[in-house]
Structure 1
Amino acid sequence: MPDSSTSVENKPFPQFLAEFKEKLRQLFHVRTDLNEISAQRGLPPFVLREIMAGNPLATYVPQRYGGRGGVSHEGLALTAAASYESLPLSLGFGINWALFLQPVIKYAQDEAKLPLLKKFLAERKMGGLMITEPGHGSDALRMQSCYTRHGDRYHLKGTKHWAGLTGWADFWLLTARQQNESGELMRDIDFFICDVAARDQHIVVEEVYQNLGIYMLPYGRNKVDVKIPVVQKLEPHSSGIKMMLDLLHRSRMQFPGMGMGFIQRMLDEAVAHCRDRVVGGRSLFTYDQVQQRLARLQSAFTVCSAMCLNSSHKVSIENDMAPHGLEANAVKTYLTDLMQSTAQSLLQLVGAKGYRLNHIAGRAIVDSRPFQIFEGSNDILYIQIGEAIQKQLQRAKNANLLTLLSGMELTVLAADRLRQLLDFSVRTHLPQRKLTELGKVVSRIVAMDQVIRLGQTPFNKELIQSSLSHIEQELTALFSSFNFSNLHNFYEGYEENSSWLNCYQS
């Protein structure tokens, strides 16, 4: 049970959220200029101190450990509130939530977990996760970081990079593979809590990267050579790989929290600009092409709203997310594609003045782009979705896509709406490029299903119908691409006889 030194002030969440939003507004629009500080590396210390003073990360911690509750919909709402003002700030919150606190709360031993959470809340600490290694980015199962046990400690060695909060986090979850007596690395992956302020647990930052975008958060290359007490090893319920999948799938399902505020900000900025901007003697808002872009932004807002509602019911740490890779990958890929496309639309509408790092449009382009890469590159995740669908078709011994999707809970409502588009057979042994296209199709159908379910609530019905039409239009184009045969590959020696200048005849 929490004691008085760790328990947070028990305000009703709506009040807590409103005060948090007002604090961000004061910090970023009154006391500082967010456009200016976002174009610089890091964050002014007083800004971070003021943000953390209200203990916002306590929202992600259950009440039994002294937090606000760790309730999914509150966590998503807080992350969305942060991303409306600053996508990097929201990412920092998301790292602490999905990649540190949730796995610690679910899998850590009490002897390590209880004092850690007490310190985390009382002293406003931060935590992160180190998985990625140079040479082993998306191929995490081949990581070379290793550990051996010596008495009551594990000795971990390796190199990690692209971990958000590099040099800032007070605690890290480190991943490594056990090294046996013959020097070989075991297949499974284990997780360890590292307290960088404790003896023999300091992590050396060898290089701080000049990352393109997300300037507020530090990334870099870290040398790991630490000795971790045995009580700081996480205890998987089955295997370490399944624990990692549970962690990553839950994190991907929580991406809509970061996307929600960001997409709403893109929409609000676009509407405000188009109403005020006069072109050709009339408001930019009155042009048909502009209306189309704004409608797409509005559709992205609706899709992300549906994803937030869906995730609110599913991502509790009591649920095992390891088996839900298809849904998690579908949510992460389409949501991050929408984040980038809404940023591109805002920049197109704003024009030249938006093409600056100290303007929200230009900053949004570079800040949202890496979301399509980290925690699984979208190209790879789309292929994984396509492969999962193809395997299910093979198991069913029926290649008809409509039949399959009509029987899946994730897609049953959307499949009924898309019967004409889906009523065809998918051939076996698709090349990767076609698996990617199939993955894109399925991700949109999953999203459409979630929008239909959102439409069964009091949510604005005009937004629902507009969004469904936009998704269906996008699906029509994707199916056209999927059914078009183009298997041309890169031509080796393209430089030969390929100079247009040599073809010019005066």
Structure 2
Amino acid sequence: MPATRTLPTAEAVDLIDLTRELAEKELAPRVGEAEAEERFPREVFRTLGRAGLLSLPYAEEHGGGGQPYETYLQVLEEIAAVWSSVAVGVSVHALSCFGLAAFGTEEQKKEWLPDMLGGDLLGAYCLSEAHAGSDPGAMRTRAVRDGDHYVLNGAKAWTTHGGYADFYTVMARTSEDRSHGISCFLVPADTPGVVADPPERKMGLTGSATATVRLEEVRVPANRRLGEEGQGLKIALAALDCGRLGIAAVAVGLAQGALDHAVRYAQERETFGRPIIDHQGLAFVLADMAAAVQSARATVLAAARLKDQGLPFGCEASVAKLVATDNAMKVTTDAVQVLGGYGYTRDFPVERYMREAKVMQIFEGTNQIQRLIISRALKKDDRGALRVRNQEN
């Protein structure tokens, strides 16, 4: 059964209804075949783009949906409950637009953001490198100033939409300073020298293309640098706080989809003369699954509401990502157990849910990195203080 939601506006209710309709009519009939064939569903993103679902958290003045994160993340959930690869893609597209929307000049926003948010273009985010892992300060991709251009050389690993994106938001080193030597660039995919390797062969999310993107003497106009030179790491980390909320919401949706399927199966499958949901041992497993989904959702929305109110939310985003993705791994594993031997076959989607849940604990910062971020936040002097928003201000 669909999740019960408390939404902030009537418009948000309509958005959820629209998303559920699209998920049922456009996503559900395609997901099984596309994932089995490891085929990237580019046409699905055009459909979502035309419906306005690729631009929800950005300002209306630049072509966005003007929706709070509280609403945007619940839309992501609804998509993920049916097709996680697509939900991840929507989150990554939003992430790829962040640098321009948050740090671009007004001239840059007016020139490029409407097309990026309009629905026809799809973005990718290039931060990770094969040798650097969770340490962006160790990146080797370089951008060297050459007159009114920068020349980029390097390779970006694990790029979602690599080879299919229309534009790449690229972090590259412009000096040797570890913290202030990285800059951010908006690079059109058809720029000479931008080349994508064949997609990675992954355990799950096989309908999502993940590839290394190589930059070979790529000349980028200087006006495509976002923010100041050396501000790239700040942009990247701010974007990741938002991206972690996106992945956390995807994990909640994935877990909800697994729970829904397990409950339906348990209501229909009979042993010893009654549905297996009536057997306490299995009923308690389902109850724990439901509790895990609902607690993860509450954690994600609590962080989203902090962001919507303009309050610090970085630590809470890490908590949400940690809780939601660990819970998704447990819930999807239990869904396989509920279906028994059938759950281990590809005749039912729960084995795919379990494979997809695993990577949620890895990308947008591994859950070990999230624990590091949370523990460091606990050391700060102000963490023990109650943060209260003055509603009169």
TM-score of the alignment, normalized to the shorter chain, above 0.5: yes
Aligned residue number for residue 260 of structure 2: 268
SS in 1 for 2:81: helix
Aligned residue number for residue 50 of structure 2: 53
Aligned residue number for residue 215 of structure 1: 206
Aligned residue number for residue 196 of structure 2: 205
Aligned residue number for residue 96 of structure 2: 100
Partner Cα distance (1:293, 1:218) in 2 = 34
Residue of structure 1 aligned with 2:78, choices 81, 92, 96: 81
- 2:232 counterpart of 1:231: no
- 2:189 counterpart of 1:190: no
Higher fraction of strand: 2
Partner Cα distance (1:370, 1:187) in 2 = 28
Partner Cα distance (2:84, 2:372) in 1 = 27
Shift of 1:362: 0.4
SS in 1 for 2:307: coil
Decide whether aligned partners of structure 1 residues 337 and 163 sit closer, same or farther in structure 2, where only a CA change above 3 A counts. Answer: same
Contact 2:247 2:364 in 1 (8 A): no
Partner Cα distance (1:229, 1:276) in 2 = 61
Partner Cα distance (2:210, 2:162) in 1 = 5
Identity fraction in percent: 23
Shift of 1:95: 0.6
Shift of 1:295: 1.4
Partner Cα distance (2:347, 2:44) in 1 = 18
Aligned residue number for residue 90 of structure 1: 87
Shift of 1:343: 0.4
Partner Cα distance (2:362, 2:231) in 1 = 26
Contact 2:103 2:226 in 1 (8 A): yes
1:306-385 alignment runs, 5 A limit: 306-316=298-308, 319=310, 324-357=313-346, 359-385=348-374
Decide whether aligned partners of structure 1 residues 371 and 266 sit closer, same or farther in structure 2, where only a CA change above 3 A counts. Answer: same
Decide whether aligned partners of structure 1 residues 275 and 136 sit closer, same or farther in structure 2, where only a CA change above 3 A counts. Answer: same
Between 1:243-252 and 1:77-86, the stretch displaced more is 243-252
Aligned residue number for residue 36 of structure 2: 39
Partner Cα distance (1:175, 1:358) in 2 = 42
Higher relative contact order (CA 8 A, sep 6+): 2
Shift of 1:261: 2.2
Decide whether aligned partners of structure 1 residues 48 and 103 sit closer, same or farther in structure 2, where only a CA change above 3 A counts. Answer: closer
Deviations 1:460-481 (A, max 9, x none): xxxxxxxxxxxxxxxxxxxxxx
- AA at the equivalent of 2:125: L
- 2:287 counterpart of 1:287: no
Contact 1:108 1:232 in 2 (8 A): no
> Which of 1 and 2 has greater Rg?
1
Partner Cα distance (2:179, 2:40) in 1 = 40
Partner Cα distance (1:344, 1:159) in 2 = 35
Residue of structure 2 aligned with 1:242, choices 231, 234, 242: 234
- AA at the equivalent of 1:135: H
Instruction: Give the total of aligned pairs.
Output: 377
Q: Which runs of 5+ in 2 are unaligned?
A: 1-9, 389-393
Contact 1:39 1:357 in 2 (8 A): no
- AA at the equivalent of 2:26: L
SS in 2 for 1:207: coil
Shift of 1:248: 1.3
Deviations 1:186-230 (A, max 9, x none): 5422111111234x4x51013321111101111112211311111
Partner Cα distance (1:58, 1:237) in 2 = 27
Aligned residue number for residue 135 of structure 2: 139
Contact 1:191 1:234 in 2 (8 A): yes
Deviations 1:32-83 (A, max 9, x none): 3532332221245544443433232132331111222142122112211211
Shift of 1:384: 4.0
SS in 2 for 1:215: coil
Aligned residue number for residue 169 of structure 2: 173
Partner Cα distance (1:281, 1:28) in 2 = 36
Partner Cα distance (1:255, 1:71) in 2 = 16
Contact 2:27 2:83 in 1 (8 A): no
Deviations 1:107-129 (A, max 9, x none): 12233322222222446111121
Aligned residue number for residue 62 of structure 1: 59
Shift of 1:236: 5.5
- AA at the equivalent of 2:123: G
- AA at the equivalent of 1:168: Y
Deviations 1:281-331 (A, max 9, x none): 322112222122111111112212312431332234x9475xx54332222
Partner Cα distance (1:229, 1:84) in 2 = 41
Partner Cα distance (1:19, 1:174) in 2 = 33
Q: TM-score, normalised by structure 2?
A: 0.87
Decide whether aligned partners of structure 1 residues 215 and 230 sit closer, same or farther in structure 2, where only a CA change above 3 A counts. Answer: same
Aligned residue number for residue 25 of structure 1: 24
SS in 2 for 1:217: coil
- AA at the equivalent of 2:147: G
Contact 1:147 1:177 in 2 (8 A): yes
SS in 1 for 2:78: helix
Aligned residue number for residue 474 of structure 1: none
Decide whether aligned partners of structure 1 residues 257 and 231 sit closer, same or farther in structure 2, where only a CA change above 3 A counts. Answer: same
Contact 2:79 2:86 in 1 (8 A): yes
Partner Cα distance (1:16, 1:383) in 2 = 36
Contact 2:124 2:169 in 1 (8 A): yes
SS in 2 for 1:160: strand
Contact 1:125 1:170 in 2 (8 A): yes
